[in-house]
Amino acid sequence: MVQPLIIALDFPKAEIALDFVKQFPTSEQLFVKVGMELYYQAGPTIIRELQALGCQIFLDLKLHDIPHTVEQAATVIGQLGVDLTTIHAAGGQKMMQAAVAGIATGAKKANVRPAKVLAITQLTSTSEQMLHQELNINTSLTDSVDHLAQLAAASHVDGVISSALEVPHIKAATSANFLCISPGIRLTSQSTDDQVRIVTPAGAHQLGSDGIVVGRPITQAPDPVASYQQIKALWEAK
């Protein structure tokens, strides 16, 4: 997979998301994230409409349930022809294996390429203090992330969603080919909003991220196309 810059389309309505995408030149093959807010509002129609505009799709629904339910849901997702999708590693090995199986089954039914499955280890909004005091997990954040990444790799998941700060030790704990897609990307002048573990685009590149997800720094910019091009240049700089 080419190292993508993925735009998070965190909009409340399909019309807003589609109008946003149409600002970009057709020569710019966008890779976009459809998350819970947009997908729950617009359903699979938004996926088809974005694909018709030439977009690659990261469907970020973070499946987390009993293995059978996750497999059935993943079978539906697998038929959509999206490129990436997510599950929670905290669901355990059987659940992650069920998700991978469901994606493969759905893709075969629809005769499309299976989506790559990425596991969530710890959200980028999770701090060390939150991990210990609220979640009652008595290991370090780093150890928790590494353990869940290793479990995901053992479950034949393609990679993880992780802060760029975690990428070097995740790849050391798994393999160089284990994908690490990183949200929590901000320019140094921008607000961190509700994310804790943030990194600049250039920093993510240097740390070895295989792709980055950027939302508000692009979608809320006065000139989204210019902001996208700026972040893309920083991300792709050697």
The pLDDT profile of the chain, 238 residues, written as one tens digit per residue, is: 678 999 999 999 999 999 999 999 989 999 999 999 999 999 999 999 999 999 999 999 999 999 999 999 999 999 999 999 999 999 999 999 999 999 999 999 999 999 999 999 988 788 889 999 999 999 998 999 999 999 999 999 999 999 898 999 999 999 999 999 999 898 874 454 545 557 899 999 999 999 999 999 999 999 999 999 999 999 998 6
62 is catalytic: yes
pLDDT at 80: 98
Sign of CA dihedral 107, 211, 7, 53: negative
- Two tokens, residue 38: 């947009």
What ranges make up the beta strands (E) of 42-190?
56-63, 84-88, 116-120, 159-161, 179-182
pLDDT at 125: 80
Query: Which member of 33, 62, 108, 171 is catalytic?
Result: 62
SS3 34: strand
Q: Which residues pair with 31 in a beta bridge?
A: 6, 56
pLDDT at 238: 61
Q: Which residues pair with 87 in a beta bridge?
A: 63, 119
pTM beyond 0.95: no
Architecture of the CATH domain 5-236? Alpha-Beta Barrel (3.20)
pLDDT at 44: 97
Single-letter residue type at 85: T
pLDDT at 188: 72
- Taking the C-alpha atoms of residue 102 and residue 70, their distance in angstroms, rounded to an integer, is 8
Find the angle CA(151)-CA(152)-CA(156) to the nearest 5 degrees.
115
